[in-house]
A and B are shown apart, each in its own frame.
Chain A
Amino acid sequence: MKILRLEYLKLRKKTRSWLGPILVFWLIMLAYPLTVEFLQDKLEIGFFSVLWIAILISMMLATEDIFIEDYNDGSLEQIMIKNSSFQFLVSMRIVIYWLMIGVPISGLSFFFSLGTTEEIFLSLSIFPLALISSYIFLNLFVLGNALSLNKGSLLGALVTMPLALPVLIVLGKSVISIQLGINFLEFILLLLGCLSIIMIIVPVIVSYIIKAHLE
């Protein structure tokens, strides 16, 4: 629990790192109605596409400086010397980023969905989808960031972006399943299954990549 507390302390004090992605998400969702007619039917057509893409972009921004600071100031070397588990550190850092950025964004997703569709069941169903998808995107972009640790985060994001595409497809299908009232739980289970694999594999791969960068 101590590592969680310390990771929380670091992220909390870096206001730009956690507030920035939430504000970007909020701005995208606020800007969306301005680009289409204010009729509810028209708004609903593209709303969920914009929602998932906004979560994707926010998570990409959230991971921008997730390792670079530790790499530049020598903290990663100290962690390596202490023989602390890199894998565990990466997992805990992703958890904290998700709790401070992914969870509030998922909460906002519920409210934006409710405001747009005025359907409580649909909006309540969107909340777990946003929670799971934000965690998956976070893991994918962490992997990208580790790959391009000393070459800028944009390159890493471009490399891992294709991995997010199947998740976006599943999210689109999930919304249709909620609206039609069929198989919604199966989609949640599918995403949870993907997440359970990703959240184990990504920290292992990332820890090897970081060690290779340090060398």
Chain B
Amino acid sequence: MNTSLIINAENIAYKVNDFKLFHNLSFTVEKGEALHVQGANGSGKSTLLRIILGITNQTKGKIEINSEKGISYLGHKNALKNYLSLEDNILLMELDDHLDLLKYIDLLGLKKLLEVNVANLSYGQQKKLALLRLFLNESDLIVLDEPFVGLDDNTQEILSNFLKDQLNKNKGIIYTSHISCSLESKILLLK
């Protein structure tokens, strides 16, 4: 695999029972490049991301991932514990000793909410907390499934700027989004 490539997918296919979700899908993601996966609801965008993450196996084809520092993922589920406070959730994410933790807590406006239980937060606030996992991860591939949903304009801009910054650091990004963003990306259209 070419060392500048982070993802190299060749002829990927995925079938549910006899229904072909997608087939012969080939694409690459290079270092410093973003790939925007587009398509209608049910076209297999999230499934494709799960295949890249190694959670789901493709029916056919080959996919190579070259990410030495791992993958960070933000999906529809925030992986937060409702019965714990923000502070405890940060502990569970093992981000408590990260040098930039306070900076991002401040930036996302979560400072006053540290002792509040996640169950008492709005969906947007919960998503901001989930963003911390993304912001403080040093992996070289970022996989995002509808990352802008539920975020206010200001946080959407923070996320866009973060992603641009990651591209400048030669990381690869693959994402799905029905909300337009200013991130310069290649497009992969699923029909």
Contacts and interface: CB of A to CB of B under 8 A. Distances in A.
A2 B71 CA distance: 22
Contacts, number: 57
A35 interface: no
B92 A10 contact: yes
B75 A74 contact: yes
A215 B56 contact: yes
Contacts of A9: 84, 88, 91-92
B79 A10 contact: no
A77 B53 CA distance: 9
Given A9-B92, A13-B88, A77 B70 contact: no
Interface stretch (A54-62, A80-88, A97-105, A127-135): A80-88
A73 B80 contact: yes
Given A6-B91, A9-B88, A13-B84, A82 B70 contact: yes
Given A215-B55, A215-B57, A13 B79 contact: no
B75 A77 contact: yes
B79 A75 contact: yes
Contact of B73 (A14, A77, A214): A77
A80 B55 contact: yes
B78 A10 contact: no
Contacts of B81: 10, 13, 69, 73, 75
Contacts of B79: 73-75, 77-78
A77 B55 contact: yes
Is chain A's interface secondary structure helix, strand, loop, or mixed overall?
Answer: helix
B188 to A, nearest CB: 21
Contact of B77 (A10, A13, A77): A77
Interface in B65-102: 70-73, 75-84, 88, 91-92, 94
A72 B70 CA distance: 23
B54 interface: yes
Contacts of B88: 9, 13
Interface string B38-78: 00000000000000011111000000000000111101111
A97 to B, nearest CB: 16
A2 B94 contact: yes
B54 A81 contact: yes
A73 B83 contact: no
Given A10-B84, A72-B77, A80-B53, 18 more contacts: A6-B92, A6-B94, A9-B84, A10-B92, A13-B81, A13-B83, A13-B84, A14-B83, A73-B77, A73-B81, A75-B79, A75-B81, A77-B55, A80-B55, A81-B53, A81-B54, A81-B70, A81-B73
Interface of B: 53-57, 70-73, 75-84, 88, 91-92, 94, 133
22 contacts: A2-B94, A6-B91, A6-B94, A9-B84, A9-B91, A10-B84, A13-B81, A13-B83, A14-B83, A73-B78, A73-B79, A73-B80, A73-B81, A75-B79, A77-B73, A77-B75, A78-B79, A78-B133, A80-B53, A81-B55, A215-B55, A215-B57
